[in-house]
Amino acid sequence: MEADRHARPEQAKLADVRLRWWGASVLVPDATPELMGTLTNTSPKDRHVLPAAHAANINIILSRNVSDFGWNDLAQMSASVAHPDLFLPLTMTPSGYQTVLTDICARRSRQPNTPASLHAALSREHPRLFDAMAAVFPCTTAKLSTHQPAAEMFRGSRCILCGQPITSEFSLISGVGPECKPSRRQEDQ
């Protein structure tokens, strides 16, 4: 499982977490070799993702490697892929962001272990999210990025906000359909 491959040795395995919380070690069936064989322009290491998402009726995939997913394969699976730094600023509320960072930091002993310091650390790879949530931590300064900006932030034909098909040229670049506003992030009431 890819998540387990990226986890540190002391972290719980995703299959164990799924079993504990949902009573199943697998939430989505594995992709069949036949279906994976029909995907021709997606990176071989990611070919299992599209059929698994399709089987689970998921049409929006988050990945830092947007360019690993082929346009034709995304169309075949009726899916889109978006970089988290495009998706999160459009979908998170300020209070939700603060809650998530607080929850993460409550379990951390190493730096960054405060919500503000984690917000600053996230700026390295997620500058759009950092900018969108700047008002939550107004005294926090962005860290200098050690990463190249993502070459592509979106591929596919489904709006990342509502999941409906998109057709306008701008929408195919931005990932947001014309029926959706540029930001659906709702301010707290």
What is the 8-class DSSP label of residue 165?
Answer: B
- Report whether 122 contacts 130 (CB < 8 A): yes
Assess whether pLDDT exceeds 50 at residue 78.
yes
What confidence score (pLDDT) does residue 38 get? 85
Least reliable range by pLDDT among 43-52, 78-87, 96-105, 128-137: 43-52
Confidence of residue 132 (pLDDT cuts 50, 70, 90): very high
Assess whether pLDDT exceeds 90 at residue 28.
no
Label the pairing between strands 60-62 and 154-156: unpaired
Q: Which residue has the higher pLDDT, 16 or 1?
A: 16
First to last CA, the chain: 40
Confidence of residue 183 (pLDDT cuts 50, 70, 90): very low
Closest CA to 186 of 107, 92, 113, 109: 92
**The one-letter amino acid at 25:** S
Question: Quick check: pTM over 0.85?
Answer: no
Q: Is 115 helix (H, G, I), strand (E, B) or coil?
A: helix
pLDDT, average across residues 81-94: 95
Q: CA 161, 187, 136 angle in degrees (round to 5)?
A: 105
Rounded to the nearest integer, the mean pLDDT of the chain is: 84
